[in-house]
Homo-oligomer: A and B are copies of this chain.
Amino acid sequence: MRPVKVGICGLGTVGGGTFNVLKRNAAEIARRAGRDIEVEQIAARHLNPACELGDTPVTEDVFALVDNPEIDIIVELIGGYGVARDVVMRAIANGKHVVTANKALIAVHGNEIFKAASEKGVMVAFEASVAGGIPIIKALREGLAANRINWVAGIINGTGNFILTEMRDKGRAFEDVLAEAQALGYAEADPAFDVEGIDAAHKLTILASIAFGIPLQFDKAYTEGITRLTTDDVNYAEALGYRIKHLGVARRTETGVELRVHPTLIPEDRLIANVNGVMNAVMVHGDAVGPTLYYGAGAGAEPTASAVVADIIDVVRTLTTDPNNRVPHLAFQANSLSDLPVLPVEQIETAYYLRLHAQDRPGVLAKVATILSERGINIESIVQMEAEEQDGLVPMILLTHEVIEQQMNDAIAAIEALEDIAGPVIRIRVEQLN
């Protein structure tokens, strides 16, 4: 059979990695795919010193590549919503298949993109958009297709996990580690995407759609960053047998879907609590399979290229299929997506870690316990830390059972109104993940 011709748009980190993997492993890939896969053309404004391009043609005009009639598969590795979106939509209009690593584009414009692709009978593959080299889209969309998925929970931003790992292992402050991550090139120059959870929310939005068969709804995701985490909380959590991770959680309930990214206490004996540094991991809980976990590098040139190239091979396999009998973009047939709503954060149900600063005098604990009890909140444990603070204040740590967030909001407001409590109550959600 004639080789399949690929056009790569963007020759940055992931684009360069994709070119290099396709070239280095060409023989191994052809042994699997049953035909050769060749890079026909590259669109890039700047060359990548990591790539020996040989006689592969390079154009600065990405739309010339998208319109190149020799190319079967357009690989979009530009990023962002601007040119990338135009490239993908024009490739689809041209009847070409698309592979992309662009989580922001899929999370925000995926519904429109998949609709156009289905109408043209082409595939838009996006394994690389979530958790880099971990084949989590494939696991969730195909490997666990027998299951009613109960929940998905993931460490899906490597920079955030690097920061939390350093804070725990070395007692370093958030700002200190963030500065190092930026120097190491892990974090974006504007770190908000990483540390405010926006990047993780993009990925979680995609996972939730595939898990539950709902349209992509990035605008409904609740996002809370790790910027206010202190080493005190990291240490208190540790003393209680927990690790703090920046987790994306999507859970199906009776009334809707929880879609939330926030710092989370996880019992230290859970495998995912031990995923450290820049590594990613995603747990998926299905009704038949129970809990499963997928771990690997969530970013970087070649790990991400691993997913891009796997998608290219998948697309090659579907070149001879009935478009109506392929794996649907969002795992479920487009005409059978569910209208299960994404719940506002006030309606999520979770357990909580609370840190209070209380006057060290009798009766405070009773008042706090009464406030919680009146709102149906069960206390799992209370630890009064040794008094170390000024002004007679002692830190008091509570772990609660699961409760609707609105109840907890009411309880916290009431606790903060107590005379014996100083300053705001620190609240971190707790997930058991079992």
Interface string of A317-332 (1 = CB under 8 A from B): 1011110111110011
In-complex Cβ contact of A302 among B22, B288, B295, B314 (8 A): B288
Contact present for A143 and B147 (CB under 8 Å): no
Please give, as numbers and ranges, the residues of chain B lying within 8 Å of A289 by CB-CB distance: 133, 296-297, 302-303, 306-307
Q: Is A213 an interface residue (CB 8 A)?
A: yes
- Could you tell me the distance between the alpha carbons of A133 and B288 in the complex, rounded to whole angstroms? 8
Q: Bound complex: CA of A278 vs CA of B298, how far in Å?
A: 28
A-B contact pairs, 9 of them (CB 8 A): A21-B288, A31-B332, A34-B324, A138-B138, A139-B294, A146-B305, A290-B303, A292-B295, A294-B295
Asked whether any CB of chain B lies closer than 8 Å to the CB of A408, the reply is no
Flag if B142 contacts A138 (CB, 8 Å): yes
A332 and B25 contact, CB distance less than 8 A:
no
In the complex this chain forms, how many copies of it are found? 2
Count of chain A residues with a beta carbon within 8 Å of a chain B beta carbon: 67
- Nearest opposing residue in chain B for A22, CB measure: B146
Closest CB in chain B relative to A25 CB, distance in Å = 6
Contacts A133-B286, A142-B313, A146-B306 known; 17 new A-B pairs at CB < 8 A:
A24-B148, A25-B146, A25-B147, A29-B146, A32-B213, A135-B143, A138-B138, A138-B143, A142-B310, A145-B310, A146-B312, A286-B306, A289-B303, A290-B302, A291-B297, A292-B294, A321-B321
Determine if A17 is an interface residue (Cβ-Cβ < 8 Å).
Answer: yes
Give the docked Cα–Cα distance between A134 and B288 (Å). 11
Whole-angstrom distance between the Cβ of A323 and the nearest chain B Cβ: 10
Closest B residue, CB atoms, query A270: B274
User: In the docked arrangement, what's the CA distance between A61 and B87, Å?
Assistant: 58
Q: Answer whether residue A271 sits at the interface, using C-beta atoms and an 8 A cutoff.
A: yes
The CA-CA distance from A310 to B139 in the complex, in Å, is 10
* Min distance, Cβ A337 to any Cβ of chain B, angstroms: 9
Contact residues in B for A146 (Cβ distance below 8 Å): 21-22, 25, 29, 305-310, 312-313
A312 and chain B: residue at smallest CB distance? B146
Q: How far is the CB of A86 from chain B (nearest CB, A)?
A: 27
Beta-carbon nearest neighbor of A336 in chain B: B31
CB-CB nearest in chain B for A338: B31
> Is the beta-carbon distance between A328 and B32 smaller than 8 angstroms?
yes
Nearest first, the 5 A-B pairs at minimum CB distance are A135-B143, A146-B309, A292-B296, A133-B289, A320-B322
Is A173 part of the binding interface, using a Cβ–Cβ cutoff of 8 Å? no
Given known A-B contacts A25-B148, A138-B139, A144-B135, A332 and B32 have beta carbons under 8 A apart? yes
Chain B residue numbers with a CB within 8 Å of A145 are 29, 32-33, 309-310, 313
List B contacts of A409 (CB < 8 A).
none
Given A135-B139, A135-B142, A135-B143 in contact, is the A213-B31 Cβ separation under 8 Å?
A: yes
CB closest residue in chain B, given A323: B320
Complex: A143 Cα to B139 Cα, angstroms? 8
Query: Whole-angstrom distance between the alpha carbons of A294 and B293 in the complex?
Result: 6
Q: Are B306 and A147 in contact (CB under 8 A)?
A: yes
Query: Given known contacts A146-B305, A290-B296, is B34 in contact with A333 (CB within 8 Å)?
Result: yes
Check: A388 CB closer than 8 A to any chain B CB.
no
Kindly state the separation between the CA atoms of A359 and B13 in the bound complex, as whole angstroms: 59
Distance in Å: Cβ of A280 to nearest Cβ of chain B = 10
**Is A287 interfacial (CB-CB < 8 Å)?**
yes
Bitwise, A14-33 to B at CB < 8 A (1) or not (0) is: 00010001101100110111
